Structure 1
Amino acid sequence: MDELLTAIPKDRVSTNTIILEQHSKDESYHKPSLPDAVVYPVNAEEVSEIMKIASKHKAPIVPFGLGTSLEGHVIPYNGGISLDFSLMDNVIEVLPDDFLVKVQPGVTRSKLNQELKKYGLFFSVDPGADATLGGMVATNASGTTAVKYGIMRDQVRDLEVVLADGTIMHTGTLAAKSSSGYNLNGLFTGSEGTLGCFTELTLRVYGIPEMIMAGRASFHSVDKAVEAVVNILSAGIQIARIELVDELSMKQVNKFSDTNYDEMPTLFIEFHGNEAGLMQDVEFTKEILADLDNHEFEFEKDTQARNQLWDARHNVAYAFKHGFPGRQLMTTDVCLPLSELAGGIESARTELGKYDLKGGIVGHVGDGNYHTTLMIDTENQEEVEKADKYNRHIVEYALKRGGSCTGEHGVGIGKMKYQSLEHGNSLQVMQTIKKTLDPNNLLNPGKIFYNG
């Protein structure tokens, strides 16, 4: 600790019990664990010094943003230093002509978009929570807009990374493309703090659309809702968001958000573009939905009503938490090829009833990603085991059909047990990379790999 205080001012190193507890958990159901200290760096040079000291004393380093992750990523099970990036929250530079922005890792999505608005720009990735951008890169987050704009990996142009030995490096350039060398942007994005700590991010941004329209379409069955998604995408309609919320989730939404939406399987849809093009897309969508005998299709044109619609969608998890006090949230997260999505959701719904678990299904169905929001009593071992068996079922269903065990939440500790099943021999390559860059296993140890 004394050596650490020579590199970082005393007021930015804490062993306060309350601070340690705040950094012992995320928003998941996973068991908390205290770090030995919390350190608040303000630049890459300080992070480098911290890394060198940690390497010398074999002290684990666990990066921390806002603690909104869902698979235990930031929980320091081996103690050590929780590296809190909340003071590194500056928007460094906006490059409007290049459609790029440089930020520090502690900048939140909402703060960035507030700054970009004056340039007529916005950052597209919207995971629901107001997470830090460093955390979003670390987990390769996506969310509601991925169907049009892509996931976090698609937005990363360059990362400044501090490695385990204190080396400061960059993974890319400002150029839109490159055929030079290995794709290090792709390697570090989604690495969950196991390969290095991000200290600066260069990200892609977009022009604010001339017009935005949002609507909701309700259906008599989930199958019809998923069929509508496939038909809309097959027709080439430029959907910006298309989200599924099942009837059980809609009931919780109405209670929590004080809305009166139909408590039926519902698609939340948003269109971005110019007025003429949007009106054509909307009419085409109406025709597709009519062929599927959908129950209702209503649009929200003004900003307030549109925001209320998306607030309701984003608050599904919190609606379940509010509706089941005393229980912990467990959110599953699998991604399937679109052709397998309907079967996957139907299987998930059947198993949910079979195990008699409390929850509902939502999803970013435009890219095959869906979640079951489970509310479990973590003190009831039988119920915890049921939830684990249920999760294993939907993961194995997805993997057998060419899918992934996690579409956007990351691995953390919750999905480690599925890594070998998903990646096979590729897992050994990943472990070799980890050992090369972090030979002492100090960077977020015990995450992604059992021996990592």
Structure 2
Amino acid sequence: MLSAVLLVAVGFGLAKSDIISSLQGPETAYASAKELQQAISELREALPGKVTTETIALDSYGSSSNSYHPSHPHSVVVHAQSTDDVVKVVDIARKYRVPIVPYGGATSLEGHFSGVSSGDICIDISAMNKIIEIHEDDGDLVCQAGARWEDINSTLKEKGIPLFFPLDPGPGATIGGMVGTGCSGTNAVRYGTAKAEWFLNLTVVLPNGKVIKTRRRARKSAAGFDTTKLFIGAEGTLGIVTEATLRLAPVVPTKVAMSQFPSVEHAVSAVQEILNNPNGSHIQCVELLDDKMIIAINKAGLTSKVLPVSDTLFLKLQGTDSSIKETANAIKKIFQKHGSSNFEFAATQQQADELWENRKYALMSTIAAAGDSSKVWTTDVCVPVSRLPELVYETKKDLAQSGLTSTIVGHVGDGNFHAIIPFKGEEDLPLVSAAVHRLVHRAIALDGTCTGEHGVGIGKKEYLVDELGPDTVALMRSVKNAIDPLNIMNPSKLYPGDETIPKDH
């Protein structure tokens, strides 16, 4: 294994001594304080007007109010505007061996953009937000990595192009971050996730400063293994994505409906049956909001209509009027069999938009309902759909026994489950952390995963060996060591045991 990694890494222009040092463990010699200041001086010279060292910025770019994992301020923030800017940053970083932490929409929850304790360069790509080309006839577009998925879809709509990008994680997420975390969203039951085929190719700046394109723009290719997927879910640890070619889908007419159930078990059983029905292909989204989430939405007052307090499914049906009508009739019969007390479509488009916004802003509603002095811990896991009722039941029981409350939302069509746990102060944090820990192990025991879409970051990496096994984790680390033997790309994230203990400090 060592010889293979050496062979690949030497091809990236690195000395054998540096490579062997990086493979011997987490002990990594990063820039000294003096070298870090030299690197910052060179960044100012190479990128005038784009470098920030103000304390407030370094702190805010290095932490998130919605994350409770260890965090550190950055040493410097560079506001990149092009691939060339990113190359300049990487070249200076590897010259002085300074870690680089990419930053996009800042919507991630697992400490992905936290600073490195030894000092680091935060590279902000949020200004790289241009749509470069739209190929309507081919059903794709090329954009910079800082573009937000909502802005892309708004632009397509404004231009009258009947296509959209179907991956829809939290509001504000950027394409680069969506690639890094292998994102998902409410549309996953119909369109899949980032790890499917929605990214046709990527432009990436590697740790050695070289710029690669992972594919051409063809819809499919058998030319070697899929290097695009190598970077999807890598969380910025293998390189920095600067551009992407996105596959688009046709806009299909939709209608929004909701239905109440006596329990989560009844709701999930109904979803399993309808998705396996011949009409299941017309379901674009199916989302579960538990009774506590409905209470939070009503209390937050973000909707003009008070919703019935019950475990509720929100659905989007897509297709022609006749296919939606046929699907709705099939759904009603199946839902009634599973105890549904109501099934209704949104009466107007405004009401439909409002209902769906309630799902997308579940986190904000929970925060608003909990009160100004409250904090919330948000986590996600995913299990086979048939195991979801057991997971939800056991988790709600566990939280109640711990004296905690939680709102629960989930992409019930694919078993993805989100718990949003409010708490009052720092003294409650260990209690919440322990409950989250038990939730993750509960999901893995049900043949699930520690994260369905939030990613690993700092918060979930301790679970990877339990979930994937030591040999799979070793393979991931071998790839990391081969591509980034200096360990400067977002170190201390994703890979268990990578704590980046620096020398010379």
* TM-score normalised over the length of structure 1: 0.96
- Tell me the TM-score normalised to structure 2 length: 0.86
Q: What CA distance in whole angstroms lies between the structure 1 residues aligned with 2:445 and 2:243?
A: 38
Could you tell me which residue of structure 2 aligns to residue 192 of structure 1? Answer: 235
What is the CA deviation profile of residues 341-362 of structure 1, one whole-angstrom value per residue up to 9, with x for unaligned ones? 1111111111111211121211
Partner of 1:132: 174
How far apart are the structure 2 equivalents of 1:71 and 1:121? 32
Greater relative contact order (Cα 8 A, min sep 6): structure 1 or 2?
A: 2
CA distance in 2, matches of 1:426, 1:85: 31
**In the superposition, relative to structure 1, how do residues 252 and 188 fare at CA in structure 2: closer, same or farther (>3 Å)?**
same
Q: Which amino acid aligns with 2:357?
A: D
The amino acid across from 1:250 in the alignment is I
1:182, distance to aligned residue in structure 2 (A): 1.7
Structure 2 Cα separation of the partners of residues 450 and 428 of structure 1: 10
Paired-residue identity, %: 36
Matched, 1:62 2:101: yes
2:330 to 281, 284, 308: 284
Q: Quick one: distance in 2 between partners of 1:141 and 1:378?
A: 30
In the TM superposition, residue 375 of structure 1 has moved relative to its aligned partner by 1.3
Secondary structure at 2:317's aligned position in 1? Answer: strand
Alignment-mate amino acid for residue 358 of structure 2: A
Q: Distance in 2 between matches of 1:317 and 1:401?
A: 26
Matched, 1:21 2:64: no
Q: 1:150 is matched with which residue: 192, 205, 214?
A: 192
Asked whether 1:423 is paired with 2:423, we answer no
Letter in 2 for 1:224: H
**Cα deviation, residue 124, structure 1:** 0.6
Per-residue deviation at 1:179?
2.2
Cα deviation, 1:14-40, whole Å, max 9, x if unaligned, reads 111222222021332334421011101
Quote the Cα distance in structure 2 between the aligned partners of 1:443 and 1:113: 30
* Equivalent residues of 2:189, 2:284 under 8 A apart: yes
User: Do the aligned partners of 2:145 and 2:243 also contact (CA within 8 Å) in 1?
Assistant: yes
The size of the alignment, in residue pairs, is 448
Q: Answer whether contact 1:71 1:414 (CA < 8 A) is retained.
A: yes
Secondary structure of the structure 2 residue equivalent to 1:178: coil
* Equivalent residue, structure 1, for 2:385: 338
- 2:277 matches 1:232: no
Contact 1:29 1:328 in 2 (8 A): no
SS in 1 for 2:328: helix
SS at match of 1:367: coil
Of 381, 387, 396 in structure 2, the residue corresponding to residue 349 of structure 1 is: 396
Deviations 1:332-377 (A, max 9, x none): 2111111211111111111111211121211001011001111134
Check conservation: 2:382, 2:443, Cα contact below 8 A: yes
Q: Are positions 1:107 and 2:152 aligned together?
A: no
Q: CA deviation at 1:108?
A: 0.8
Corresponding letter in the other structure for 1:153: K
8 Å Cα contact 2:464/2:496 also seen in 1: no
Q: Which has the larger radius of gyration?
A: 2
* 8 Å CA contact 1:102, 1:200 repeated in 2: yes
Q: Structure 2: how far apart are the matches of 1:323 and 1:302?
A: 27
Rounded to whole Å, the distance in 1 between the matches of 2:432 and 2:184 is: 24
Amino acid in structure 2 at the alignment position of 1:361:
I
Q: Which residue of 2 aligns with 1:247?
A: 291
Are positions 1:372 and 2:415 aligned together?
no
Which of 158, 165, 172 matches 2:208?
Answer: 165
Question: Could you tell me how far apart the structure 2 residues matched to 1:405 and 1:384 are?
Answer: 20
Question: Distance between the aligned counterparts of 2:79 and 2:261, measured in 1?
Answer: 49
- CA separation of 1:57 and 1:451: change in aligned 2, threshold 3 A: farther
Equivalent position amino acid for 2:480 in 1 = K
1:309 aligns with 2:352: no
CA distance in 2 between partners of 1:123 and 1:202 (Å): 11
In structure 2, distance between residues paired with 1:402 and 1:174: 36
Give the counterpart letter for 2:373 in structure 1. Answer: G
Q: Do residues 220 (structure 1) and 262 (structure 2) align?
A: yes
Counterpart residue identity of residue 164, structure 1: P
Which whole-Å CA distance do the structure 1 matches of 2:398 and 2:44 have between them? 53
Partner SS, residue 257 of structure 2: strand
Tell me the amino acid that sits aligned with residue 20 of structure 1. L
1:413 matched to which residue of 2?
458
Aligned partner of 1:415: which letter?
K
**Conserved? CA contact 2:101–2:122, under 8 Å:** yes
* Match for residue 72 of structure 1 among 111, 136, 161: 111
Q: Report what 2:487 is aligned to.
A: 441
* 4+ runs deviating over 4 angstroms: none
SS in 2 for 1:333: strand
Using the alignment, how far apart are the partners of 2:114 and 2:483 within structure 1?
21
Please list every run of 5 or more consecutive structure 2 residues that lacks an aligned counterpart in the other structure.
1-39, 499-505
